[in-house]
Amino acid sequence: MKIIETHAHIYSSKFKEDRGETIERAKENGVAKIIMPNIDLPSIEQMMAVEEEYPDYCIATMGIHPCYVEKDFNKQLYEVEDWLNKRKFCAVGEIGIDLYWDKTLQAEQEEAFKIQVEFAKKHKIPFIIHGREATDEILKVLKSLQDDDLKGVFHCFGGTVEEAEQIIDLGLHIGIGGVSTFKKAGMDKVLPSIDLNKIVLETDCPYLAPVPYRGKRNEPSYLPIIAHQIAKHKEVDVELVAQQTTQNAESLFQL
């Protein structure tokens, strides 16, 4: 099986002790590449160091996560833009709106999201969206910016069939991860109606480990669990899920 991990914070300090072994386990489990979404300005250095240590395997993206957007976010975005102009990134991310933890900076989050989607369009690369309790707000921003250059992933999808349809109508892909293994999430009802050529695989490690590792540290080597889960709910062969999602990720991120 060859699969692509489209969302792993493998540069996180949670992997400080055993990053090399974790990456070996990923390779043994068929993970061909790992895309690393950035979080904030301080995380850039560590992400770049991991990319340098595992060239052409761990691949950096550039952006500010909504939970880390500051009141004066322009300074953060100047730096993001500077990086995007300086070298090639496979995506802008992770970006979005998160109203679960804190709504005080909602206006700033929305504005920073919009500007970063425009960065992605300008550089003709996709974006990686983090949305929590903010799907309507995110769709509103995306609809206002929709054109042929709009491409990206709605990461960690756990919504309804209607939401999935709206995301796909905008030309985006859907990132499926550990949430698909949580019974309460109801993804067994949603997955059958999402077209396989719109799905990419992800773990979001170190967070959101799939069952049976739920609550523990997540890692890219668990990605086959997600592929099997999708195969089960879509009633197709897991090899088909691996092939199609790999092709989707390679073409979306120009790997």
Q: Please state the closest distance from residue 32 (CB atom) to Zn ion, in A.
A: 20
Which token pair is 137?
């707000």
> Please, which of residues 85-124 interact with Zn ion by CB under 5 A?
none
* Residue nearer to Zn ion on the CB measure, 203 or 245: 203
Q: Please state the closest distance from residue 155 (CB atom) to Zn ion, in A.
A: 6
* Residue nearer to Zn ion on the CB measure, 163 or 204: 204
* Residue nearer to Zn ion on the CB measure, 137 or 204: 204
What binding mask, one character per residue, do residues 229-248 give for Zn ion by CB under 5 A, x or -?
--------------------
**In whole angstroms, what is the distance from residue 38 CA to residue 41 CA?**
8
Which token pair is 153?
């992933």
* Residue nearer to Zn ion on the CB measure, 98 or 204: 204
Q: Please state the closest distance from residue 237 (CB atom) to Zn ion, in A.
A: 29
Q: Kindly provide the residue ranges of all beta strands, DSSP E only, lying in the chain, ordered along the sequence.
A: 3-5, 31-36, 58-60, 92-98, 127-132, 152-154, 173-176, 199-201
Q: Are the C-beta atoms of 200 and 90 separated by less than 8 Å?
A: no
Q: Please state the closest distance from residue 173 (CB atom) to Zn ion, in A.
A: 15
* Residue nearer to Zn ion on the CB measure, 205 or 231: 205
Place of tokens 């070298």: 87
Distance of CA 28 to the CA centre of its chain: 22
Q: Please state the closest distance from residue 8 (CB atom) to Zn ion, in A.
A: 8
> Please, which of residues 150-209 interact with Zn ion by CB under 5 A?
204
Query: Residues binding Zn ion: what is the number (CB under 5 A)?
Result: 1
Exposed, middle or buried by CB within 10 Å (0-12, 13-18, 19+), for 225?
buried
* Residue nearer to Zn ion on the CB measure, 67 or 194: 67
Give every CB contact of residue 218 below 8 A, 6+ residues apart in sequence. Answer: 178, 203, 204, 205, 206, 207, 208, 209, 210
In degrees to the nearest 10, what's the CA dihedral of 134, 139, 144, 147?
140
* Residue nearer to Zn ion on the CB measure, 61 or 244: 61
Q: Please state the closest distance from residue 94 (CB atom) to Zn ion, in A.
A: 5
Question: What's at 248, amino acid-wise?
Answer: N
Q: Please state the closest distance from residue 202 (CB atom) to Zn ion, in A.
A: 8
Q: Measure Cα distances from 164 to 15, 36, 137, 146 in Å.
A: 32, 23, 15, 16
Catalog residues that contact Zn ion under the rule CB under 5 A: 204
